[in-house]
Chain A
Amino acid sequence: MDVLVALLAVALVSWVYRVAFTGLLGGDRLPASVRGRLDVVGPAAFAALVVTDLAGQPAPLLLPMGAAVVAAAITARLTGSHVAAVVVAGLAWWACSAPWA
């Protein structure tokens, strides 16, 4: 029950985040210096999430996870396919964590 309560509480906070500038406040409440940087929010967040995920791995998993991320980046660059990036990342993880690695 505690888990569900926690999830619902995070959901409520997240909804407030999500509607903060679509319903609650106007975008003009933000200073121009902030508005002028919002176009790079996505890439900055994606990079921060990936690095945080990698840095939080146990030492034995750093190599397979690092290889998977690099493989995903190369695949996404070459093919533009998100599905292919995930599949190749999984294969890279498996190859680098197999007994022969």
Chain B
Amino acid sequence: MSSITASRADPTRSPVTRAVRDILPLAAATAPFGAVVGVMLDQAGLVGVPALAGTAVLYAGSAQLATLSTMTAGGGVVGAVLAGAVVNSRLLLYSASHGPRFRDGQPSWFRWLAPLTTVDQTFALAAAAGDLRGAGFRRYWTTMGLVLGAAWLAAVAVGMQLGSVVPAHGPLDVAAPATLVALLVPHLGDRRTRRAAVAAGLAALVAGALPGGLGIAVAVVAGLVVAGPDRDDTGEVA
């Protein structure tokens, strides 16, 4: 995960400044995706403070879209919860991957509350900022989460306002895959990582028919299996 675009270690730059500099482009890039989620909330009949509260505590666009899509398609609460839970199951692997940096020398509040802001973007940037540990990492992560969260909620609020005027399909639909591709591309220079991505992509094609987003979980596992173990480290994020 060391090749992703993130600011280089600079002893003169504070973790807070570095976090803002790293996350702002991603916050801007995810704004259209947030607007899509806002539109979906409006179409699902959930607006205002309850919608924003639900969005804030969930803090996961793909899972929220899966949950809302299942609800609006008549899949029921149980089906919708299962869909969202399966889509988000990759967070379990993210937790395992960066767990040591949240446990080692960190206060309890950080171990239990800060992971609430674990999403693809914060995970990828934190992995790239592998030189930060302890208090430095804590400040970096907390700043990233707050900035991205504020931008995310603002974008969702705008989407809720635009809900009635936005067509069912439009350029906003590309925001999520485009952001993910932008996160993925910097990794593809490494052969082992490339193998994992290609295997996960192919597996997602094959397993895509599985219900409730299960295909994503299967595909990620397939990617890890095909990549094989990293012989140079112990499994912690480098």
Contact = CB atoms under 8 A, between A and B. Distances in A.
B196 interface: yes
Contacts of B95: 17-22
A69 B185 CA distance: 11
Interface stretch (B13-21, B132-140, B146-154, B213-221): B213-221
Interface string A9-20: 111011101111
A27 B174 contact: no
Contact of A76 (B45, B77, B97, B185): B185
B93 to A, nearest CB: 4
Given A7-B67, A20-B92, A86-B32, A43 B85 contact: no
B123 A8 contact: no
Given A37-B229, A55-B204, A68 B84 contact: no
Contacts, number: 334
Contact of A13 (B81, B112, B170, B177): B81
B58 interface: yes
B227 A3 contact: no
| Of listed A18, A42, A53, A72, residue having the most chain B CB within 10 A | A42
A4 to B, nearest CB: 5
Interface string A69-101: 100110111001111011001111110000000
Contact of B45 (A3, A11, A81): A3
A35 B237 CA distance: 9
A80 to B, nearest CB: 5
A39 B183 contact: no
Q: How large is the interface on A (under 10, 10 to 19, 20 to 34, 35 or more residues)?
A: 35 or more
Contact of A10 (B64, B188, B199, B201): B64
A30 B123 CA distance: 19
A48 B29 contact: no
Nearest to B111: A23
B1 interface: yes
Contacts of A55: 204-205, 208
B103 A41 contact: no
Contacts of A47: 184, 196-198, 200-201, 204, 219, 223
Nearest to A18: B115
B180 A17 contact: no
Contact of A51 (B185, B219, B230): B219
Contacts of A64: 174
B235 A50 contact: no
A89 B99 CA distance: 34
14 contacts: A4-B54, A7-B58, A7-B64, A10-B60, A11-B59, A18-B118, A19-B112, A26-B99, A35-B96, A44-B196, A46-B183, A49-B176, A53-B176, A55-B208
Interface of B: 1, 5, 25-26, 28-29, 32, 41, 44-46, 50-51, 53-55, 57-60, 62-64, 67-68, 71, 77, 80-81, 84-85, 88-100, 102-103, 108, 111-112, 114-116, 118, 120, 123-124, 127, 169-188, 192-193, 196-205, 208, 213, 215-216, 219-220, 222-225, 227-231, 233-238
